[in-house]
């Protein structure tokens, strides 16, 4: 208790009047409020602002957030309309616009943040980058409106694909970013690099030979490792995993009955790593069990008829499973002019019903990332500062 008091007793030096609650109890209450309310409380007085920005409160609020329902970050897929993010609360059917040009960036980098797309997320931080260039890679907190640019790779390679994965290494207490890219000189081979936030340069990783990860989905962080679907129908262990602690790759077996990589997506539904299989009108949920030491297995947890004949012009992605009785889907339809339209819908297999989620203000065609708001500061994570990068605008 004394250590907690020492952490917070300097936050009430300029508060008016006597505190009704002990400081540590006040932090506990404040951390459980919606993030929008906490943002407003930062303006009450300097002591409240310092408390909300303190490592103690940030850690406390982050722990509370992990037990709350996930929100979504939505960004338009059209390059001319990528200037804003949308924080979606699917329970309340609300979306709050966050303009990227208002996010501060500690860099002399001569570029505009809206030129980058959201690639992955971890602990309230977004990892943003271009699909066709290695540089720049930005870590951004859209709630605190802070962002930093990671050290540049200085590579001039022509890319055909650039994806990122982001996770927290529990053993070191540090965040790590892994990039997965393919060059025009070898379009069917994935290359990997890693950087720990605070390091001054990227490091090359030795991945298993001749592997190419799927373009369909981003990597999934689960149980201390990042996971990708391998785009090779002949391989018997089609899930590639990377242990953030040991920084080693390994694979997970799964018997694929459908050979199109678009038939499968990796998700964390509940607390489990799952493989969602789409096969015409059917949806199957496979749950991965086990560990590296004892081996892995995938068992079919549930199977449902969607009563819709999905195809390449009318398809869906499983976004989340709000309860064991329903799935949140992002549906996309392509019209005769090749114009795409996205929307959210809740599918309830037991009732064989779809409930359209009427959320105003979203772009017509968008990407979705899971998101749990936090006050983790990107600036504070870069404990080892290299010279700020400079890059000419494109």
pLDDT of residue 97: 94
Q: How confident is the model at residue 386 (pLDDT cuts 50, 70, 90)?
A: very low
pLDDT tens digits, residue range 275-322? 998 878 999 999 998 888 888 888 899 999 999 999 889 999 999 998
Residue 10 has pLDDT above 80, yes or no: no
Judging by DSSP bridges, how do beta strands 186-196 and 203-205 pair with one another?
antiparallel
Please state the separation of Cα 184 from the chain's center in Å.
27
Percentage of the residues of the chain whose pLDDT score is greater than 90? 51
pLDDT tens digits, residue range 168-194? 999 999 999 999 998 888 888 889 999
Q: Quote the CA–CA distance of 245 and 204 in Å, as a whole number.
A: 16
Query: For 12-31, what is the mean pLDDT?
Result: 68
- The pair of three-digit structure tokens given for residue 86, joined into one six-digit string: 């949308």
Residue 35: enclosing H or E segment and its boundaries? helix 35-41
Q: How confident is the model at residue 392 (pLDDT cuts 50, 70, 90)?
A: very low
Residue 211 has pLDDT above 60, yes or no: yes
Query: For 91-109, what is the mean pLDDT?
Result: 83
pLDDT of residue 377: 92
What residue ranges do the domains of the chain occupy?
23-59
pLDDT of residue 338: 93
pLDDT of residue 187: 81
pLDDT of residue 259: 46
Q: How confident is the model at residue 110 (pLDDT cuts 50, 70, 90)?
A: low
pLDDT of residue 262: 58
Percentage of the residues of the chain whose pLDDT score is greater than 70? 87
Query: For 253-281, what is the mean pLDDT?
Result: 79
pLDDT of residue 20: 66
Q: Count CB neighbours of 347 within 10 A.
A: 22
Q: Residue 298 pairs with which residues in a beta bridge?
A: 288
Q: Quote the CA–CA distance of 275 and 289 in Å, as a whole number.
A: 11
pLDDT tens digits, residue range 149-159? 999 987 878 88
């Amino acid at each position: 208790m004394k250590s907690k008091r020492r952490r917070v007793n300097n936050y009430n030096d300029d508060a008016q009047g006597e505190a009704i609650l002990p400081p540590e109890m006040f932090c506990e209450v404040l951390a459980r409020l919606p993030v929008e309310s906490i943002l407003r409380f930062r303006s009450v007085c300097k002591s409240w602002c310092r408390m909300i920005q303190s490592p103690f409160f940030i850690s406390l609020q982050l722990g509370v957030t992990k037990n709350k329902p996930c929100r979504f970050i939505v960004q338009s897929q059209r390059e001319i309309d990528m200037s804003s993010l949308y924080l979606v609360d699917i329970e309340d059917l609300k979306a709050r616009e966050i303009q990227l040009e208002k996010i501060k960036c500690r860099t002399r980098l001569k570029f505009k943040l809206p030129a980058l797309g959201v690639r992955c997320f971890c602990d309230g931080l977004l990892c943003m980058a271009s699909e066709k260039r290695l540089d720049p890679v930005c870590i951004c907190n859209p709630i605190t409106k802070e962002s930093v640019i990671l050290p540049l790779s200085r590579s001039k390679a022509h890319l055909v694909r650039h994806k990122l994965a982001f996770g927290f290494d529990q053993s070191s207490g540090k965040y790590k970013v892994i990039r997965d890219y393919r060059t025009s000189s070898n379009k069917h081979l994935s290359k990997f690099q890693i950087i720990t936030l605070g390091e001054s340069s990227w490091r090359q990783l030795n991945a298993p030979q001749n592997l190419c990860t799927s373009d369909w989905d981003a990597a999934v962080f689960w149980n201390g490792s990042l996971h990708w679907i391998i785009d090779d129908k002949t391989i018997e262990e089609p899930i590639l995993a990377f242990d953030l602690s040991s920084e080693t790759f390994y694979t997970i077996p799964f018997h694929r009955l459908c050979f199109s990589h678009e038939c499968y997506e990796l998700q964390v539904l509940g607390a489990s790593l799952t493989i969602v299989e789409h096969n015409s009108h059917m949806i199957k949920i496979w749950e991965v069990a086990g560990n590296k030491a004892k081996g892995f297995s995938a068992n079919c947890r549930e199977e449902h008829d969607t009563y819709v004949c999905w195809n390449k012009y009318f398809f869906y992605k499983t976004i989340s499973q709000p309860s064991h009785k329903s799935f949140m889907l992002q549906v996309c339809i392509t019209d005769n002019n090749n114009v795409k339209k996205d929307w959210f819908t809740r599918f309830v297999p037991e009732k064989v019903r779809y409930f359209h989620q009427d959320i105003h203000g979203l772009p017509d065609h968008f990407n979705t990332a899971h998101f749990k708001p936090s006050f983790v500061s990107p600036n504070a994570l870069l404990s080892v500062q290299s010279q700020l990068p400079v890059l000419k605008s494109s």
